Structure 1
Amino acid sequence: MSAEATLLEQFTALDTATVSDALDACGLPPGQGGLRPMWGRPKVAGFAVTVELESLSGEHDGSHILTGAIAEAGPDDVIVVANGGRTDVSSWGGIVSVGAAVRSVRGAITDGACRDVAQARDLGFPVFARAQVPATARGRLRQRSTGEPISIGGVRVRAGDVVVADEGGVVVVPRERATEVLDAAQRLAEREAAIEAEVRAGVPLPQAMRDARLAGTEAR
């Protein structure tokens, strides 16, 4: 297994709340809510393939949004779409889900609405969005950029950043700090597992959940 695949496997083993806490500890923007799985309870972790959309004004150039980015994406990637949180028009649909699934892309996250959720569900393809809407992007949206830095809910996402999404929300980990954040998240997960075990064993909650212990600053 490659180093990249191992990194993603380790992030997949964590939930977004734990990674968000690690981002806080590293002085980075935390995770965000509002980007929900459109079916089931999937969890994805992958390298961001970034796309930015904007309102269509004037003549359309004929190429459909997202298709080029999907054609270049692969099994370690997640498509991340910036559409300003718009929920009046779809920024992800069924045919692009098919195209992404054929490429073994891990999932799609769109800062906007999607449609054709049943098709994505039947494919087993995870889609995270702010809402569902039947309105097509055709004649309403065009692609502004691909592979460039984008903003999702105010958080900057660059191509190649690690993105983790589950039913709790979405986190973005800058690629150059991924190992640092992963180490912090794994330590947090171990600490929380130990606290949970003590609580289940009858240790009083205030004693188990000491602030210094949760922060990892308690002397051993």
Structure 2
Amino acid sequence: MQELGVVHRTITRASEADVEALSAFGVSTIHEAMGRLGLMRPYIRPVYPGASMCGTAVTVLLQPGDNWMLHVAAEQVHPGDVVVAACTTENEDGFFGDLLATSLKARGAKGLIIDGGCRDVATLQEMNFPVFSRAINSKGTVKATLGSVNIPVVCANALVNPGDVVIADVDGVVVVPAARAGEVATAAKKREDNETGKRDRFASGELGLDIYNMRAPLEAAGLRYID
């Protein structure tokens, strides 16, 4: 059962060095390097082209149609944080807009991930404040019902604990547990170096059939070529 009406002021964030290391890699690389874990559902999309972010999570649990707790969360933001907002039930109302973005940006937030709606998109783009959301929706919200800040939340099917590393780009959003951040960054670097070598081989005309030694397994599986 999720806690309601609480704000945890002290959280353990992933180290700045690990966050910086992870920021060098894309979501797809990190997801694969972590054992194909950590992805949010693909309906969470950037609200404008080119939006991306990497930072430590300040988590928020919202009530449907109510953005009160986003204002509460702003006070808990440290420079380099990403606000990750889940909701107690599916809701696409416009929880977030340019005023809250101005507040979060002033606190040093890197952006917002929200399993809900967002509005004022043109202004957000002008501000260069990245938001990834479930929907773009002009419908406003109220400030009446308590949720919580800095508790574990499930956002778009991904478990997010306060202090975890959240990376978002055009390919989606991935969450790296704080305790695994260094390990995953190392694995991502190894994977990317390996892919660079393969990319060169593909560019030279070599086929994946040979690079990945697929021919024998395909033959064993019964693949036949007919001229």
**TM-score tier (shorter):** 0.7 to 0.9
2:15 pairs with one of 1, 4, 20 = 4
Residues 21, 9 of structure 1: alpha-carbon distance in 2 compared, 3 angstrom cutoff: same
Which residue is 1:184 aligned to? 187
Residues 193, 173 of structure 1: alpha-carbon distance in 2 compared, 3 angstrom cutoff: same
**Unaligned ranges ≥5, structure 2:** 1-13, 215-227
TM-score of the aligned structures, taking structure 1 as reference length: 0.83
**Unaligned ranges ≥5, structure 1:** 212-220
Which residue is 1:21 aligned to? 32
| 8 Å CA contact retained: 1:16, 1:31 | no
Which residue is 1:50 aligned to? 59
1:58-88, Cα deviation, whole Å (9 max, x unpaired): xx9xx9331121122122100000024422x
Which residue is 2:205 aligned to? 202
For 1:23, the aligned partner's letter is: M
- Between Structure 1 and Structure 2, which shows a larger proportion of strand residues? 1
1:29-82, Cα deviation, whole Å (9 max, x unpaired): 4454221110121221100000001137xxx9xx93311211221221000000
Higher mean C-alpha displacement, 162-171 vs 77-86? 77-86
Q: If you compute each CA radius of gyration, which structure gives the higher value, 1 or 2?
A: 2
TM-score of the aligned structures, taking structure 2 as reference length: 0.81
1:76 pairs with one of 53, 77, 80 = 80
The alignment partner of 1:195 has SS state of: helix
1:133 pairs with one of 131, 137, 150 = 137
Which residue is 2:165 aligned to? 162
Identity %: 31
| 8 Å CA contact retained: 1:163, 1:173 | yes
The alignment partner of 1:118 has SS state of: helix
Q: What's the C-alpha RMSD, in Å, of the aligned pairs?
A: 2.1
How far does residue 92 in structure 1 lie from its aligned partner after superposition?
Answer: 1.6
Residues 32, 24 of structure 1: alpha-carbon distance in 2 compared, 3 angstrom cutoff: farther
